[in-house]
Amino acid sequence: MSVTLRKIRETDLEKIMRWRMDPEITRYMNTDPRLTLDGQKKWFAAVRENPDVRYWMILVDGREAGVINLTGLSREDGVLGWAYYVGEKKLRSLKTALSLEMSLYDYIFDTLRKEALISDVFTLNKGVIQLHLLCGCEIVEEKKAHICKNGVFYDVTFMRMTRERWQQVRAGKKYEAMIFEE
């Protein structure tokens, strides 16, 4: 299985919109958006001009599978946020998820020379928390009833990978390195 990452394009917007509104995807996100193609085009124009964010399409064997993004690129402290999802169920795999996450660490710490990568995960999303732990992330804290979505409060687990920690644990990790298109 070959995984590549390319910058998102306007031609991807309809697919991204469909994935982003899929209840299976939004179940673990802070919002359940109702998107339109016109709104997606405005969003895409804004993110293309925003130096603080980057978005890539995840391609598995040449097929669009999901989206990964970074936020905080202009922060002076070198701490970035990130998120991703694989919208195409048939293209999901543990091997891809592990390689994607660890390749992101390489990109963040070796290419961008940043200091830390942080994420927040709904605590009920045990699989993703376990995935992050397998990759070497640490749990920073858990906040009870931190997000209210559709009248329901969710606990959130905050996780972090630092440059120093990745240098310590990387040698023990086996993964297929992926290149992030610049």
**What is the mean predicted confidence (pLDDT) over 19-33?**
91
- Domain for residue 125, yes or no? yes
Asked if 84 contacts 66 with a C-beta cutoff of 8 angstroms, the reply is yes
- The phi, psi pair for 81, rounded to 5°, reads -105, 160
As for how many domains the chain has, the answer is 1
What's this model's pTM, rounded to 2 decimal places? Answer: 0.93
pLDDT more than 90, % of the chain: 95
pLDDT of amino acid 136:
96
- Domain for residue 151, yes or no? yes
- Domain for residue 80, yes or no? yes
Expressed as residue numbers, the domain containing 158 is 3-172
- Domain for residue 112, yes or no? yes
- Residue 2: pLDDT band by 50, 70, 90 thresholds? confident
User: What is the number of H-type helices and E-type strands within the chain?
Assistant: 6, 7
- Domain for residue 88, yes or no? yes
- Domain for residue 135, yes or no? yes
pLDDT of amino acid 182:
84
Report the CATH number at residue 103.
Answer: 3.40.630.30
pLDDT of amino acid 32:
87
- Domain for residue 130, yes or no? yes
